Structures are given as structure tokens and as C-alpha cells.
Amino acid sequence: MAGAAPAARAAVVSAASDAAPTWRLEFALRRGATFRRDVSIRSQRRVIALVGASGVGKSSVLHAIAGLVRPLHGRIEIGDDCLFDSARGIDLPPHRRRIGYVFQDARLFPHLDVRANLLYGFRAGRAHRPAVQDPRFGFDRVVELLGIGALLARRSPGLSGGEMQRVALGRALLSQPRILLLDEPLSMLDMDRRDELLPYLQRVRDEAALPMAYVSHVPDEVRRIAEEVFVIGEAPRGDGGAG
Ligand SMILES: Nc1ncnc2c1ncn2[C@@H]1O[C@H](COP(=O)(O)OP(=O)(O)OP(=O)(O)O)[C@@H](O)[C@H]1O
């Protein structure tokens, strides 16, 4: 299906309003020799989900937003930020996009304890914004938000999958992002651990108040997190299709 994606089309806008969309993703992607995907997503919602079958290009869309894959052409605007616009020659490098990225696996540094993993995120954020005196996501606030105070001295190999993902979320927030991308953050957890982690994701969604794009295969998860859902890889149906 991937190679037969429909051409770019009029974007789907979630609510009847003249306000500028929070998400404006209109671009063409190529991965490898054969995969091509035209993406057309507009949403005024802050929290969107991207769903679709395996291999349709969900992660690739997140990679393009993060600047890890360069679209063939098009534009990527989120809130007031233009991250990519081929017509205007704009292509911000990844470190200037201020994106917090949480992957399926937490990707913590195993030789560091939780505090040091979190501080890595904090320093990474500061490295690109040394002038910020009063970061929006302070260490104590993030630790409280994610309930990871009791874990600070522990190393990641001893943590449960859910604990690791909470630390990964914390590390992402401490980098002071303007946008959060979550690529199937619950997919490696069993059902009980998923149910434990979901409320933390909801807290981050509500309290961090950042634009969030959430990739998942699980309908229940998507319903509980996202305000609008876009199906990648399906022909438009007038609502929620996305290219
Ligand atoms: N680095 C790469 N080089 C070549 N092809 C790639 C690369 N990364 C992804 N692809 C291909 O691009 C297509 C989309 O992959 P992507 O991982 O974005 O899909 P996905 O919808 O996120 O899949 P899944 O749900 O299985 O994670 C696939 O056909 C994949 O094989």
C-alpha cells in the first residue's frame, strides 16, 4: 500500500474556525528506494494521533517533524514555528527544533542512574539555550509530575518498562521542548503496565500543554490520549484521513 499512497490533497481541518492550525504537515517523504508517502495533516487540536498499519510511515512522519529525515518537498509548521519549508529554503537542524522525542524503548543510558539520565536531558536543552534562566520544566516539577522521585538513585537496568518510560518522558521534558513526539511509547509494556503509564501520559498532556503527536496501533490508547486522530496510508474519507 505504501507505494500507492494518494497524492497530496486538501488538508482535513478538525474544527470549523479561521484560527491558524496548530499542526500543518504537508510534505512528501521517501524512505529507501521504494517507499513514498504524501502527508497532508492540518489540525487545530493540540494533541493528535497518527495511526495506521505497520509500515505505512507513521514513524517516518515523526522523523520528518524532528528533522531526522528531510522531506522531498513541502512544509512543516507547528504552532508558530516553521520547521521546514522547501519553498522558502527553511530546514531547521534537529537541535534547533526543540523536540522532545520518546521512543518505543526508553533508550536510557544504562551506566547512569535516573537522576543523571534526567540531567542529561536538562543539559541537552540548556546547551542550545544557555540564556534560559528559568526553564519551563524544572527538575523537581518533572520528577513530581511523573512520580519518579523514589527512582532517582537507581540505574535503568533495574527499572520496570513503565518506570523506564516515565524517566524517558522526564528526560524529554527536561530538554525544554516546544513539541512532544511519542512513538508507540507503550508498545513494549504489558496491559497492566500500560494502564499504569497512561495516567502519567495524560498528566504530561494536560500539564505540559505542548503540541503532542502520538503514534500508536491501539485504539483505546489513542482515544484516551489524542484529541484528533489521523489515519496514515488511507484514502481520504472526509474526516481524519491524512495521506
Ligand atoms: N532508514 C530507512 N531506510 C529505508 N527504508 C526505511 C527506513 N526507515 C523506514 N523505511 C521504510 O519506510 C516505510 C515506513 O516505515 P515506518 O517505520 O515509518 O512505518 P511505521 O508505520 O512507523 O511502521 P510500524 O508501525 O511497523 O513501526 C517502511 O516500508 C520501512 O521499511
ipTM of the complex: 0.96
CA 75 to chain centre: 17
Averaged over 77-105, what is the pLDDT? 95
CB atoms under 10 Å from CB of 180, counted, come to: 22
How far, in Å, CA of 226 to CA of 49, rounded? 6
Question: Tens digits of per-residue pLDDT, 38-74?
Answer: 999 999 999 999 999 999 999 999 999 999 999 999 9
Atom of ligand 1 nearest to the CA of 52: 21
* Helix extents (H) in the chain: 58-66, 114-128, 139-146, 161-174, 191-208, 219-225
What is the fold, at CATH topology level, of the domain defined by 1-98+215-243?
Answer: Rossmann fold (3.40.50)
Q: Is the pLDDT of residue 226 over 50?
A: yes
Pocket test for ligand 1, best of 30, 31, 39 (most atoms within 8 A of CB): 31
Query: If 0-12 CB within 10 Å is exposed, 13-18 middle and 19+ buried, where does residue 105 land?
Result: middle
How far, in Å, CA of 54 to CA of 92, rounded? 28
31 CB within 6 A, ligand 1: yes
pLDDT higher at 135 or 108: 108
Query: If 0-12 CB within 10 Å is exposed, 13-18 middle and 19+ buried, where does residue 69 land?
Result: middle
pTM score of the predicted model: 0.86
Residue 21 is predicted with a pLDDT of 73
Let me know how many helices (H) and strands (E) the chain has, helices first.
Answer: 6, 10
Residue nearest to atom 3 of ligand 1 (CA): 32
